[in-house]
Amino acid sequence: MSDQINTIKETTYGLGTVVSEFIVSNELINDLNNLIDKKLKENSLISKGHSLAGQIENEFDIFQDLDDSLVKELNLYISHYLTMTGEMKKIKQYNLVSCWFNDQKENEYNPLHIHWGESYGGISSVLFLKIPDSINEAKNKNNKEEPKDGRLEFVYGNTLYCSHNTKLVHPQVGKLYLFPYYLNHTVYPFKGEGVRRSLSFNVDLIK
């Protein structure tokens, strides 16, 4: 695993919420996809759908299957985010407490929701592992707006003058987003064949 990370974008918007966008290594993407495909083939995964907001058939826990090298690389991004936002100086420790993946298919979606762990505060994530061509090829009837098919959208606060309260993300394999538990976000449905695979993890902050 790489011990270096490349921060592509660190954006502060709304009333101060920070969403960081990273590009992760191809090795990490391949390792995670291989692990997930192996576990799916073995039919040994535990469904997480009963505890998640998503209207998605295939949502599975992968936390216990992460090896030390995978956890180490994920911690690089977590540590960078906490340092960049200034939270690292305020906390005693941070704990990766859960990890799961969604294999979203046609017409499935994730409604507007937030995340939580075992502590009051924490950070969550979305990492894109597979994106079907139908999402990249989607077109909007209103050509002045970007298509929302299969997109991730963050929503924070109210729309005010000289500000934005939403951030629409076109999913790309290898892009990782870190954000606070309390940040509302949603995933829109898409049409067409293929699977939109994303992985998420929650990190509790201990003060």
The tens digit of pLDDT for each residue in 49-72 reads 888 888 999 999 999 999 999 999
Number of helical (H) and strand (E) elements in the chain, helices listed first: 3, 12
Task: Round to whole Å and give the CA distance between 40 and 79.
Answer: 30
pLDDT band for 47, please (50, 70, 90 cuts): very high
Note the pTM of the prediction, 2 decimals: 0.91
pLDDT band for 4, please (50, 70, 90 cuts): low
Q: What is the pLDDT of residues 162-176, one digit of tens each?
A: 777 888 999 999 999
Residues 6+ apart with CB under 8 A from 57: 49, 103, 105, 108
pLDDT band for 15, please (50, 70, 90 cuts): very low
Asked if pLDDT for residue 112 goes beyond 60, the answer is: yes
Strand ranges across the sheet with 93-104: 6-13, 17-23, 175-180, 122-130, 196-206, 93-104, 58-61, 46-47
pLDDT at 10: 57
pLDDT at 179: 94
Of 4-13, 98-107, 149-158, the poorest mean pLDDT is in: 4-13
Asked if pLDDT for residue 156 goes beyond 90, the answer is: no
Burial of residue 90 (CB within 10 Å: 0-12, 13-18, 19+) is: exposed
Mean pLDDT value of segment 141-153 = 89
Asked if pLDDT for residue 145 goes beyond 90, the answer is: no
Q: Confirm if 22 and 7 have CB atoms less than 8 A apart.
A: yes
pLDDT at 14: 45
Asked if pLDDT for residue 11 goes beyond 60, the answer is: no
Q: Which domains are present in the chain? A: 6-206 (2.60.120.620)
pLDDT at 3: 52
Q: Give the 3-state secondary structure of residue 3.
A: coil
Strand ranges across the sheet with 184-187: 110-113, 184-187, 152-155, 166-169
